[in-house]
Amino acid sequence: MADHNMGDQAPDSLTDEQADALLDADEAEETIEEQGEEGDVAMDSGDEEADEEVDMDGNMEEIQLQNDSVAHFDKHKDSILCIAQHPLRPEIVATGGQDDMAYIWNATPADGPVLPASYESNPQPQERQGQEVLAKLEGQDETVNAICFTLPAGDFVATATLAGTLSVYSTPAPNAPSRLVGSAKEVEEINWLVPCPHKEYPNTIAFGATDGSVWVYTINPSDPSSPLTIVQTFFLHQAPCTAGAWTPDGKLLATVAEDSSLYVWDVFGDAASVGLADPNGGQAVVGLTAADERFKVDGGLYSVAVSPGGGIVAVGGAGGNIRIVGLPRLSAIPNNSATGAKGGAGARSKAGGSKQAGGPKASTSTPASAGQAGQILAAVTAQTDGVETLDFSQPPLTLLAAGSVDGSIALFDAAHNFAVRRHIPDAHEEEAVIQVSFVKTPLGTANPSNYILTSCGNDGVVRRWDTRGGTAAANKGLAGEWKGHRGGGDGGGIMGFVQGGGGARIVTAGDDGVGLVFAAAAGP
């Protein structure tokens, strides 16, 4: 395990009082309190069956195969690369894959007993019927490597392909089958796709491309001549844009790239309307690149996450490097514009990120709450290979989880200068960790399971971790694990999962071409 370092690369050391200020008092406490006597316990495994395989010397060897799932989806003919979940109806999921197809399907397990698993050429039990297809999203021109439902109501499903095509479909409803709303192709390849949570701009999405560009679209099916409208485009990244994340209010969009750059975009002019302007005349309220040696990550950045309060952004990259950067808190800044109006959709920003036409005039005063915006608050390294996934816990916990290609998971405490709270070196049997995600509920609602962290990896296993307690937690806090995918690294891992609705079910996207549903009751 690489030693973590905080002060060596951060511009200033932080006192406990300053670190506590990174998150609002109402979203974080200084310490993590125990919640209940015991966390989740490992679930009983499903039926195991013996199979035989020929090793490299021609000898027969017996392997044990296990399937803990309660339902499965097997319509894909190749690897499933992405998965999304309806924001209001968690039983509805969408998947896209390497077979140039995407589906919307119902993940609710059928009533009745679950029959024993049976592995043959397909790792799904032949005795159990696959889940219902709600819609087949046809017309994909290449591998579907990103998919999402729009916010706030999941009215549409957007897919993105390796050929650079963005397609939007209506979400099926009773007596209203899914239909293609519109498509757009502006880039050669799309890397990621995320929905915008801004209350005033519903059904808006953003994506990043291999040419480094970032695009924001809004969906308007009532305009048949232009159902997909470009809101903004940005071109400051000089290498493939690898990840993006909105602030919880949807007012800012943070993106990272392989050139070790981070930009935070004022997409709708909310920052400009309260006096926060890009000093370079564009729309990046925060911009950090490899030119700043304190921020530079050799090998690039590949993951990004924003804290629940929107005050900090974490970016992860090669060599286990993580940088923590301050963001302006727009919700805490009074609106000094005359009308409070937002910039009009449809304006396209240029290479420098020019402001939207029709946007409000910026205030002449600089708000005090913008003080830490763009500052490097911490630089930490607890893992030895690329940080592919990051996620913040919900309040009152103040944890940041990081999953690495080295197979480990690290937990950092945001309330204590991002000190390493726990390191799990063998979280996924030395196979890459592909996703980490805390169990979450809509902001403002009770979440008794906010200490539960779910992870998946190239070993084909889903695991849950009890993040309470310190580094000496028994078994590193393992609370349960579920198997069913082939595993073994190449071609058998889990490419992602969803766990909306309080975490009671985990639905996976398998590199083996199968989606599995696991019953995984969360909570104390």
Quick one: pLDDT at residue 358? 31
Cα atoms in the Cβ-side hemisphere of radius 13 Å centred on 458: 17
Cα distance between residue 1 and residue 473, in whole Å: 18
* Element containing residue 134 per DSSP (H, E): strand 133-137
Instruction: Enter the DSSP assignment of 271.
Output: H
Q: Which residues, including other chains, have CB under 8 Å from residue 15's CB and lie 6 or more apart?
A: none
Instruction: Measure the CA–CA gap between 5 and 379, rounded to whole angstroms.
Output: 7
Strand partners, 244: 255
In sequence order, the β-bridge partners of residue 412 are 400, 420
> Phi first, then psi: what are they for 272, rounded to 5°?
-65, -35
What's the pLDDT tens digit per position in 152-200?
999 999 999 999 999 999 999 988 999 999 999 999 999 999 999 999 9
For residue 39, pLDDT over 50 is answered with: no
Per-residue CA distances from 452 to 268, 314, 393, 463, 516 (Å): 34, 20, 9, 10, 20
DSSP structure class, residue 513: S
- What confidence score (pLDDT) does residue 23 get? 52
How many C-beta neighbours within 10 Å does residue 33 have?
Answer: 9
* The token pair that represents 416 in the structure block: 């204590």
Cβ neighbours of residue 57 closer than 8 Å, sequence gap 6 or more: none
Distance CA 76, CA 96 (A): 8
What's the pLDDT score for residue 57?
Answer: 58
Q: How far apart are CA 278 and CA 285, in angstroms?
A: 5
Among 367, 136, 151, residue whose Cα is nearest residue 248: 151
* Fold classification of 16-52+67-108+129-268+301-338+345-519 (topology level): Methylamine Dehydrogenase; Chain H (2.130.10)
**AA letter at 146:** A
Residue 450: is its pLDDT beyond 50? Answer: yes
pLDDT at 264 over 60: yes
User: Which residues is 401 bridged to in the sheet?
Assistant: 391, 411
Per-residue pLDDT of 277-313, as tens digits, reads: 776 667 899 999 999 999 999 999 999 999 999 999 9
450-451-457-462 Cα dihedral, nearest 10 degrees: -80
pLDDT higher than threshold 70 for residue 147: yes
Given a cut of 50, is residue 146 above it in pLDDT?
Answer: yes
Residue with the larger pLDDT of the pair 248 and 123: 248
Average pLDDT, integer, range 398-403: 97
> Who's near 88: CB < 8 A, 6+ residues apart?
153, 154
Lowest mean pLDDT of 186-200, 369-383, 455-469, name the range.
Answer: 369-383
What is the chain's mean pLDDT, rounded?
Answer: 82
Q: What pLDDT, on a 0 to 100 scale, did the predictor assign at position 34?
A: 43
Tokens found for residue 212: 């480094």
**The pLDDT value given to residue 476:** 85
pLDDT at position 510 over 50: yes
**Mean pLDDT throughout 216-235?**
93
Tokens of 483: 């198997």
Q: Residue type at 68?
A: D
Count CB neighbours of 10 within 10 A.
Answer: 20
Q: What is the 3-state secondary structure (H, E, C) of 427-496?
A: CCCCCCEEEEEECCCCCCCCCCCCCEEEEEECCCCEEEEECCCCCCCHHHHEEEEECCCCCCCCCCCEEE
Check: CB of residue 195 under 8 Å from CB of residue 222. Answer: no
512 versus 13: which is more confidently predicted?
A: 512
What local confidence, expressed as pLDDT, does residue 72 receive?
Answer: 96
Side by side, the strands of the sheet bearing 144-149 are 144-149, 156-161, 165-170, 180-185
Cβ atoms within 10 Å of 13's Cβ, excluding its own = 11
Q: Is 30 exposed, middle or buried (0-12, 13-18, 19+ CB in 10 A)?
A: middle
pLDDT for res 470: 64
Structure tokens at 85: 């979940």
Q: Rounded to two decimals, what is the model's pTM?
A: 0.80
**Residue-range domain boundaries for the chain:** 16-52+67-108+129-268+301-338+345-519
Tens digit of pLDDT for each residue in 10-20?
444 444 444 44
d(CA 472, CA 455): 20
pLDDT band for 265, please (50, 70, 90 cuts): very high
